[in-house]
Amino acid sequence: MRLYLLLLSLFFPLMAHAQAVIRDAEIESVVKDLAKPIFKVAGLNPNNVSVFIYQSEEPNAFVPEGKTMFISTGLLSYSDKPETLAGVIAHEVGHITSGHVHARKGELENLRKKALLSSVIGALAGLATKSPEVFLGTSAAGSEASLRQFLHFTRGQESSADQAALKYLEKLGISNHGLIEFLDELKTEERINSDNSTNYLRSHPVNQERINAIKEFNRNHSNSGGFDNNSYEKFRRIIAKVRAYTLSPRMVINLYNHDTSTAGIYAMAIANMRIPNQTQALALTDKLIHKEPNNPYFREIKAQTFLEMKRVNESVEEFKKAYSLLPKNPLMKFQLAAVLNLTKRETQKSIALLEEAVSAEPDFPSNWHQLGVAYGIVGDSTNSNLALAQSAVLREDAKMAKRMLLIAEKDVLESKNQRTILRYKDIKQAVLELEEKPAND
């Protein structure tokens, strides 16, 4: 495996897995900044709703339960302007505030009667442990049809969510033309390819009445306004980034070869890194950094390119610069720590960064796994095994978690470190709870 692919599996795992939650500080920041005002105007606390980006070429978004929203890379790649994504998010929020998501609890008994409960419960297990990685991993392994049935909304519910979305967008001064265009495109696809429609169409039925209702709303309400130039620029960059990582490098080059904008250069730099044409990737990245020397995300690309070239020392320095420009971001801490783990240098710094990362984001298995690796490098087998056990718990791998606990048990019990003992007890309790869960046969 090339070194940059190893990093992508750590930081942007869509290259390594068919369907996975992706972690990217820039993409997460822009999407969450776009979603927060919608949550607020709908009466939801933005801090209580988690938004996750997952890898899928299909444009899709769904809310499996009221505090979690998933958005596909396909939807981001489809969205040429932020109004489109804002419209889809507002629609999903409309399902939450209209009580449609809460009403699903009553559907579990029907699924049980149809012998579909196990796969749905398996998919939702990740949300019970607050691990989005587990949710998508289990749902992909389970019955797609039963999960889709669980996520399905009626046409009446879709219309209700549309009306709620239109009100939210109007209050925020955001045009709903992006939502109309998205629905029109889906309607066209449904007509042309009705036997093989997308997951979004299967769970969110589109008909002409829905589109007409939105147009009727616009006859009596203002439908102008949008985002400022800065927001548009940030959005263009993350769309270019998603496309650069999810499409083939050659396709990306065809799309952006003559695009001299910052977003275009950004996409070309990533595509050349992936080919790999590192010399050209570095030249393009340096061009970006010259324009914006304090942009942490451009430093990330340069660091990954250096790592691909096996210029490890320069890679570490660029990751340090990226972290210094965004020091409070847990993912930036994770990235720097992970590359330090690869080099097996400055491991105490890596441990400190990862302890902060797991404190800020305790529900991601990858954070705990890297912490286990770091402790292992310095020979602290007790804390290494405990961190690896916690990672296994979040993946719902009770067997592996129990194995790690058993290895660490003697040293933990002899330890006088109360923090270590408490961590051991918490993980042991979590393992017991996992083992007590009924098997989803």
pLDDT one-digit tens code per residue, 84-113: 999 999 999 998 888 766 655 555 445 444
Task: Supply the pLDDT for residue 206.
Answer: 66
CA–CA distance, 359 with 376 (Å, rounded to integer): 19
Query: pLDDT grade, residue 350 (50/70/90)?
Result: very high
For residue range 135-157, list pLDDT tens digits in order: 445 444 444 555 555 556 677 78
Same fold flag, 247-326 and 329-441: yes
The rounded mean pLDDT for the chain is: 82
Q: Please tell me the pTM assigned to this model.
A: 0.82
Task: Supply the pLDDT for residue 124.
Answer: 41
Q: Which CATH class name applies to 247-326?
A: mainly alpha
Lowest mean pLDDT among 217-221, 252-256, 288-292: 217-221
Task: Supply the pLDDT for residue 76.
Answer: 93
Task: Supply the pLDDT for residue 224.
Answer: 77
Domain ranges of the chain: 3-220, 247-326, 329-441
Task: Supply the pLDDT for residue 203.
Answer: 60
Strand order in the sheet with 68-72: 21-22, 50-54, 68-72, 61-65
Domain 329-441 has CATH 1.25.40: yes
142 SS3 class = coil
Is the pLDDT reported for residue 131 higher than 90?
Answer: no
Query: pLDDT grade, residue 388 (50/70/90)?
Result: very high
